[in-house]
Homo-oligomer: A and B are copies of this chain.
Amino acid sequence: MSKVAPTLEDVARVAGVSRATVSRVVNGTRNVDPDIQETVRNAIEQTGYTPNRAARSLVTRRTGTVALVISGTSGGSDVFTDPFFGRVTAGVVDFLRGHSVHPVLMLADSDPARTEVVEFLRQGSADGALLVSTHPDDPLPARLVDAGVPSVLYARPGRPMPISYVDMDHRAGGRMAADHLVASGRYNITTISGPMDVLASQDRHAGFRDAMARHGFPYVPTAEGGFTAESGAAAMHQLLTECPDLDAVFAANDLMAQAAVDVLLEHGLRVPDAVAVIGFDDSAPALACRPQLTTIRQPVEKMAAQMADLLLADLEKPGQRPRSAIFEPELVIRASA
């Protein structure tokens, strides 16, 4: 049972000055006599005063809070076991904490949930939105733009719209994988793609296939996965059936790559001796996997931080033109390829 929170009024009474003076001391301290400042500070100390956030927000129209929205995922709440989202969260939290801004976590995996997100922001419960939207036909980005909510996307929007975003050159990543496999002398190269209704998957795949074609491999056996371990295992089985003499696999993320390795080993195929495997992302599973995965690094934490940075910049001076930041992937060579 806490004592009622002290207010500016209370502090002012104790210090023997007016509310406005106390307010000026609490915020930017301009034009306040040093002696009085001292007195007021003591009074604040003594009363244990803390400014009330709601009252402050009401007049400043700022909350010091942004929404971190995971949108367009089908799967519900097991998103948080996916290392990707953990990394996004880490990057965002890490950046924001230096700016005394706090993220509110929201899942927008259904239409009512999306409406709730829009409402939340229109109510002014948060100053802006950081949106991790995987599916190009996700209506949320457009709805946020329409509502005039300052927002930044992770990954470019499905259709062009005036909104800032960070992204990576996924095609370049796919290309790197192809180059590396070809350079290491593989001939029967296959790939496990991500879900084809995700832009990043399309890009990784396109980059990979283009580079393969340039290397003289016009056709690449492909199985579509869903970015999960199970789907990766299933895809690997499928590839082994269709193409028993394969000697390399490029998987569109590490989770699937790891599952692929397991399936290969079960079939008595040694990695990388018999089959080279290359993953994507360079997240925890890449290191946990035996052999450790050669993979294409996506600097997720940096990108997430940049996303937060763009949003804060927009909040700082509103109405700027949308900005984008594209990051480069990096080939990380370990044991699997």
Residues of A within 8 A of B (CB): 1-3, 5, 50-55, 57-58, 63-65, 68, 76-81, 83, 85-87, 89-91, 93-94, 97, 100, 102-107, 113, 116, 119-120, 122-125, 147-149, 229, 258-259, 262, 265, 283-285, 287-288, 290, 318-319
Contacts and interface: CB of A to CB of B under 8 A. Distances in A.
Nearest to A290: B262
B81 A102 contact: no
Nearest to A58: B54
Contact of A116 (B81, B94, B100): B100
A28 B141 CA distance: 32
A5 B283 CA distance: 42
Nearest to A89: B80
Contact of A124 (B54, B79, B102): B54
B80 A125 contact: no
Given A90-B77, A113-B97, A290-B265, A53 B125 contact: yes
A81 B93 CA distance: 13
B86 A124 contact: no
A5 B229 contact: no
Contacts of A120: 102
A112 to B, nearest CB: 10
Contact of A58 (B55, B79, B90, B94): B55
A104 B107 contact: no
Given A2-B147, A290-B265, A81 B77 contact: no
Contacts of A125: 53, 64-65, 102
Given A2-B147, A77-B93, A105-B105, 18 more contacts: A2-B148, A2-B149, A5-B122, A5-B124, A51-B123, A53-B123, A54-B55, A54-B57, A55-B58, A57-B57, A80-B86, A81-B86, A81-B87, A81-B90, A93-B107, A102-B106, A102-B125, A103-B104
A309 to B, nearest CB: 16
Contacts of A85: 86
